[in-house]
Amino acid sequence: MKINKEEFQNVNWYTLTNDNNFSVTISTLGATVVAVNTPDKKGNVENIVLGFDDPQDYPNHNDYFGTSVARVAGRIKDGQWRDYQFDQNEGINTLHGGSKPSLSYVNWKKISKFIRQEEVGLVLKRFSIDGENGFPGDLTIDVIFRLNNRNEFSITYIGHTSKQTLFNPTNHMYFNLSGNAKRSIKQHQIQLESDVIAEVDAELIPTGNLLNVDNTPYDLHATTAIGSVLEQIEDGIDTAFKVEPSIEAPQLTLEDPESGRKVRVQTSANAISLFTTKEPHEPFKIHGDQDMDANIGLAIEPQMLPDAIHHSGFGNIIISPSKPMMYRNVYYLN
């Protein structure tokens, strides 16, 4: 078990490595997962998440590559809650906490790191002042990254606030299990324990209805090739799937048969949002020399159902001074 540190001009990268040659690299900018390196069935170790080799590339793109998204992941209708007006950064709505800048593109402070017999970890902190991006309350967010010798990578978000506010964070990793994004994700196999999805309007804002997935492309109870799902959905996947919160059993499995790599995802939240990459408006490179493209990655975003504050039954994302809130997501790497 070890931790290595790389220092750049204004950003530090920390690489957590276990005894099985699995490693995770975390950037202080946006509490971002830069890389998750795992071996394929032949033992070749490669990165299975999308990102950049140069830290300076991250602020130049607004695709949230591996970033921590806070205060609130997903969309908020009209950017409003009670008498508060949030930063409206997607038309009249708020997306991923706003953009002045959002917490995904600011530096977080390293609090501690730890190396134990069976796990290695890093703790980052961000203090978001009352009124930042329109959100009330001084909010302190601690994020704990852990990698253990069972090849389990976990991300835990803990929020404390000075007054009632909203807290629904996630990590926005895009997965491609082929390694270094050398193939599309169409041949990846996905299985997801979800009976319903959140219906959305033309602006991708939830209507409040939960739609049964039976006899639709969104029925992923049985293992399904992503390519076959995409053939039935014109604009790609951009969908919140309701799941049963769990601290024991993974709700989602993603596998690439060719490389033999597999990731299982478990969350204590009540939804997993999936998003397949779109063709960029202007071409750019990831991993140094790979072209960013449609269907080159699948974003897996464990979170509470989006726009929960406007829909009964979507879950509670209101945090108060007397009730800190915690979310834990675990990625089982094979």
Report the distance separating Cα 334 and Cα 322, nearest Å.
39
Tens digits of residue pLDDT in 285-329: 998 788 999 999 999 999 999 999 999 999 999 999 999 999 999
* Model confidence, pTM: 0.96
Q: Do the Cβ atoms of 319 and 327 come closer than 8 Å?
A: no
Segment 171-199 shows an average pLDDT of 97
Q: Count the residues in the chain.
A: 334
Domain boundaries, the chain: 2-333
Active-site residues, by number, are 172, 301
Residue 115 has pLDDT above 90, yes or no: yes
Residue 325 CA, chain-centre distance (Å), reads 18
Residue 273 in tokens? 């949002």
Residue 234 confidence (pLDDT): 86
CATH for 2-333 is: 2.70.98.10
Residue 220 confidence (pLDDT): 98
Q: Do the Cβ atoms of 112 and 120 come closer than 8 Å?
A: no
Q: Are strands 271-276 and 75-76 parallel, antiparallel or unpaired?
A: unpaired
Residue 298 confidence (pLDDT): 98
Segment 177-190 shows an average pLDDT of 96
Question: CA nearest 170: which of 36, 332, 329?
Answer: 329
> Sign (positive/negative) of CA torsion 119, 179, 303, 29?
positive
Tens digits of residue pLDDT in 245-279: 998 899 999 999 999 999 999 999 999 999 999 98
